[in-house]
Structure 1
Amino acid sequence: MRFKDRHEAGTKLAEKLIGYKDDKDAIVLAIPRGGVEIGYEIAKFLGVKLDIIVTKKIGLPEDEEFAIGSVAPDKKVMLNEDTIKIYNVPKDYIKETAKEISEEIERRYREYKGRYELPILKNRIVIVTDDGIATGFTAKAAINYIKSQMPKKIILAVPVASSRFAEQIKKEVDFVCLYSTDKFYSISQFYENFPQLGDKEVKKYLNEINFR
């Protein structure tokens, strides 16, 4: 399956979520940047609020792609203690890296929203979205944070995901996915047009939905 672009993928995904149309408890949380274009189409179709959720992993000193933990939107740090022990990761490295990531998270919220402010998620129906999921570490970090905020329900909605991730996440949250496959090499392979989204475009989508 290939989508023309994120707008088409978001529109098709929104149709699968019609049960939440005009639900005052529902909110769409998009993982920036690409997820915001998907989230825009979902929020527009459902008539609900759109916001962002920014999390970032903490990687090993010698391999930043290998996650040993993550920093949540509220700057709380979640660590995989077993992995940290196995690789003997210095505490000073974790502390310093977490501080840098926390500052980056706040900067991105201010850049996209004009302020560092997190939406209240307690008793809300939270629809998390991105333009695709390969390993799913970012999505899982987002879901872990959302769970801590005691929502009524969590739905992870994406156009495409790896089969491995899809099987895992179904056990944790409601999962809506248009296409999953084990032949997953990069998210871009599922789109005819897959341009990088700029910060200005992210802000434009957020403003368009929330100030209608």
Structure 2
Amino acid sequence: MTAFRDRTDAGRQLAALFAGRDDRDPVVLALPRGGVPVAFEIARALQAPLDLVMVRKLGVPWQPELAAGAVADGDDPEMVINETVAAMAGLDRADMEELAAVQLDEIARRRSLYLAGRTPVAVAGRTAILVDDGIATGATIRAALGATRRRNPARLVLAVPVAARDTLESLRPEVDEILCPLPVDALGAVGLHYGDFTQVSDQEVVRLLSAAAPPGGEPG
């Protein structure tokens, strides 16, 4: 039996963990695309704005699914390198920066598609809740956390339905709190814990962001 029917169910289960809390002026930040339906339910429950943290995996050129690192957008993009994988693949810092440049172009394209010029929601001084649909190795979420921390939130909360227990432990020093209803020792693929783990479309991301959009964004 799977833990979550789909990402909407996972989001509702996560949202229930925020009930009765007094989080200071929360803003919910999703990793697209899979994190958006999860984050939408949390933002709706908290009546908080929903925004994106755009992160791209830096795959080994001849094995793109193998992450040598990740990069998150921002005025000063946050790059995280998996030193073990990069060394094994013979990739130096210059190689990683070249890979990052390609992915930053893709991030810019997706941000334009998803947000259509909407100004980022302010994070400084607020409770930033970073959401994805699951965490395996943590490379992308670590880049997203670093990029979000640079925006000076009052508190940084990581909220994720399912994650590898050892990865969560490695991330604890980087956040103020972690909410995860299903930490597991042997994660396997994240999708194994969902009844329906169909890929989220660009159109669905745009629809949910529009449905959750605050009256106006603020720079932050």
TM-score range, shorter chain: 0.7 to 0.9
Unaligned runs of 5+ in 2: 216-220
Aligned length: 211
Residue of structure 1 in register with 2:154 after alignment? 152
Q: Secondary structure at the match of 1:138?
A: helix
User: CA separation in 2, counterparts of 1:141 and 1:73?
Assistant: 9
Q: Does 1:136 align with 2:138?
A: yes
Which residue is 2:164 aligned to?
162
Q: What does residue 218 of structure 2 align with?
A: none
User: What residue number does 1:3 align with?
Assistant: 4
Give the TM-score of the pair, scaled to structure 1.
0.87
Residue matched to 1:186: 189
Partner of 2:60: 60
- Residue 92 of structure 1 deviates from its aligned partner by 5.5
The answer to whether the aligner puts 1:39 opposite 2:42 as a matched pair is no
State the shift of 1:63 in Å: 3.8
Structure 2 counterpart of 1:123, one-letter code: G
Letter in 2 for 1:108: R
Shift in CA distance, 112/156, structure 1 to aligned 2, threshold 3 Å: same
Contact 1:29–1:39 (Cα < 8 Å) also in 2: yes
Q: Distance in 2 between matches of 1:43 and 1:60?
A: 35
- What amino acid sits opposite 1:210 in the alignment? A
Query: d(CA) in 2 for partners of 1:178 and 1:158?
Result: 8
Q: 1:65 to 1:149 in 2, by over 3 A?
A: same
SS of equivalent residue, structure 1 residue 32: coil
Letter in 2 for 1:58: L
2 CA distance for matches of 1:154 and 1:116?
A: 23
Percent identical across equivalent pairs?
34
Q: Encode CA deviations 1:9-62: one digit per residue, 9 max, x unaligned.
A: 1111101112456x6721000111111000110000110000111112323344
Which residues of structure 1 form unaligned runs of 5+? none
Partner of 2:13: 12
Q: CA RMSD in A?
A: 2.4
Deviation (angstroms), 1:71: 2.2
If the length of structure 2 is used for normalisation, what is the TM-score?
0.84
Q: Counterpart amino acid of 2:32?
A: P
Letter in 2 for 1:156: L
